Structure 1
């Protein structure tokens, strides 16, 4: 179903209630539920922590062959380029600012279609900046892609092809859209009102409860969204339009009220009891990886029950459960070399590597 920009904008601002039945074409969804007893025995991973200089408050990590890219939350240089094979810090790049070639807030790192190049998405200015891992003297982006105004209403996004993005919006009942770089809708997938039984909840409230950052498989055929407030991973097969929703290990909607105190509906949640579910995820060639916390973020470094990584196939079957000896806020996977790289959250945050044991690779 093709929709133009005007139709989408009307949908964004119409904070309607989830009371209309979903169309058949968007109700192609399968649910797989698991709990703790369904998890395989944990495989303990022992991390090798690096001491790369200049990393102070990392947000994202991306693997590009022999290189790692790490983005910063701080106000200095935005990016670090690491040669992971030689274990050397190559350089910092990404000038912080509002001028040409500059950026302010690196929300996401995504591989570019050119080898050893990558995109950074600036959430504040809604544009992509492209950089290369190769040596260079300038810290400015090689190129920048400014998106249409419609992208100010996007909650999250990832590349779906070299000319389109898969996005979630701040409002509306449709879950996922494929959108051209000019803001035209190419397709819509799934509905938010399928996620809860209550029929009196505005769509934007449902979507906010199910926040999850979008990730794309290397071939851009599969897309995942792992919930940070609810235990679920959505798996979209773009070719068929079908969504597989993996629920667990605790399949329940967190308690919430609808708050209108700001003049529009918002999800009011009990922050004292709310736990963080998936902190990050990775869509691999044949496997899905989810970094699961399952407790309050303030207790993330508690040595008891550090966060775990669940591994699923694309049919929703859980394949592995990895236990970690470092608390992580984000991670990436080098599937060619069977290594998980994470960002630690401790007194001296840095990169940590977990080599996957051969015993866990045999079933893959």
Structure 2
């Protein structure tokens, strides 16, 4: 009997030690995990396509049965791919400074209208809306954003009339901003991310940079760190933030540089952590790199995709056989699409097992 009791206690202790640790305060819950907390890896074999219409793809977005791929070149900014027929349908996004034109597609965002999507021109501070079935190369709609948008670091749509953003300075993490530039709400603070109190807020935000993504219903917003292994999950209705940290949970080595007359982060570590994230209906997908930037195209230790629910529970751990620079997810058809990092970058598809 005693031996059985000791065995039960031992197994219980083992389960506790293998579970992610949890810390919680008034406005933030922190879940810390490491490699041993990940479920067994599932290998996904990618199908690489040979679309010849783009030379240097930058961003990728799933819109129904179509993919939108943005281009770094000086031609048309965008390409639309029909993934059912596996054909390039057309290019769009006329490059220029005239009405309906833009000079870059810094971001790709889902639109509220069926088959629509938005891009953001960082140079002109213009948001442009396009539609899959529109044959014009000009944007259907454009919004020229106000002066405050010159101080925005990352952003996404928070509603039809507001933006969720992180700013280049200040202690507040996330701002909901109207299209007129008014602050509607703020969420979280950067000083919660680091124990030292002598670090300027803009330096803290710099080492925690990452793209903001919105769930389809705009109720959740996530950001995955490029330099630090963390994923913030903002619940807009409650105002609380869940911070998922791991699998290393290290702050990158950095110095505060005042050579320009104001504090800047001088990053010593060259490790890249997450190459983006995807906010699904009930799941979060994060593209994990976890190696030196100079080794990004190295075929050893290729990308993984970690999958969490919105409570921070780890659901899946996928190993990919291609190195990716960007990715998106078709949740309806169970496919991860990415852009490869190799001599001939193109689209690659990974079928998610049932």
Q: 2:186 aligns with which of 160, 185, 188?
A: 188
1:357 aligns with 2:353: yes
- Verify the 8 A CA contact 2:229 2:250 in the aligned structure 1: yes
Paired position in structure 1 for 2:298: 302
Paired position in structure 1 for 2:309: 313
- Verify the 8 A CA contact 1:55 1:349 in the aligned structure 2: no
Q: Any gaps of 5 or more consecutive residues in structure 1?
A: 1-25, 359-364
Paired position in structure 1 for 2:139: 141
Question: In structure 2, what is the Cα distance between the partners aligned to 1:135 and 1:224?
Answer: 30
Question: In structure 2, what is the Cα distance between the partners aligned to 1:135 and 1:49?
Answer: 27
Cα deviation, 1:95-138, whole Å, max 9, x if unaligned, reads 111222111121110111111111101111111011111141x3
Structure number with greater CO (CA < 8 Å, separation at least 6) is 1
Paired position in structure 1 for 2:22: none
Question: In structure 1, what is the Cα distance between the partners aligned to 2:122 and 2:43?
Answer: 36
Paired position in structure 1 for 2:84: 85
- Verify the 8 A CA contact 1:27 1:190 in the aligned structure 2: no
Of 286-295 and 126-135, the range deviating more from structure 2: 126-135
- Verify the 8 A CA contact 1:52 1:89 in the aligned structure 2: yes
Alignment of 1:1-16 (within 5 A): none
Question: In structure 2, what is the Cα distance between the partners aligned to 1:311 and 1:73?
Answer: 29
Paired position in structure 1 for 2:171: 173
The 4+ residue runs of structure 1 with deviation greater than 4 A are none
Q: 2:196 aligns with which of 192, 195, 198?
A: 198
1:240 aligns with 2:238: yes
- Verify the 8 A CA contact 2:210 2:224 in the aligned structure 1: yes
- 3-state SS of paired residue (2:84): coil
Cα deviation, 1:127-166, whole Å, max 9, x if unaligned, reads 1011111141x31111211111110100011001101110
Cα deviation, 1:60-83, whole Å, max 9, x if unaligned, reads 111111111000112111100011
- 3-state SS of paired residue (2:202): helix
- 3-state SS of paired residue (2:204): helix
Question: In structure 2, what is the Cα distance between the partners aligned to 1:148 and 1:267?
Answer: 27
Cα deviation, 1:37-96, whole Å, max 9, x if unaligned, reads 111111000001111121211111111111110001121111000111111110111111
- 3-state SS of paired residue (1:92): strand
Question: In structure 2, what is the Cα distance between the partners aligned to 1:105 and 1:163?
Answer: 22
- 3-state SS of paired residue (2:52): coil
Q: Any gaps of 5 or more consecutive residues in structure 2?
A: 1-24
Question: In structure 1, what is the Cα distance between the partners aligned to 2:139 and 2:46?
Answer: 33
Alignment of 1:1-364 (within 5 A): 28-136=27-135, 138-270=136-268, 273-358=269-354
Question: In structure 2, what is the Cα distance between the partners aligned to 1:288 and 1:61?
Answer: 17
Question: In structure 2, what is the Cα distance between the partners aligned to 1:38 and 1:111?
Answer: 33
- 3-state SS of paired residue (2:149): helix
Give TM-score scaled by structure 2 length.
0.92
Q: CA deviation at 1:298?
A: 2.4
Paired position in structure 2 for 1:16: none
- Name the larger-Rg structure: 2
- Verify the 8 A CA contact 1:215 1:223 in the aligned structure 2: yes
- Verify the 8 A CA contact 2:283 2:310 in the aligned structure 1: yes
Question: In structure 1, what is the Cα distance between the partners aligned to 2:134 and 2:184?
Answer: 38
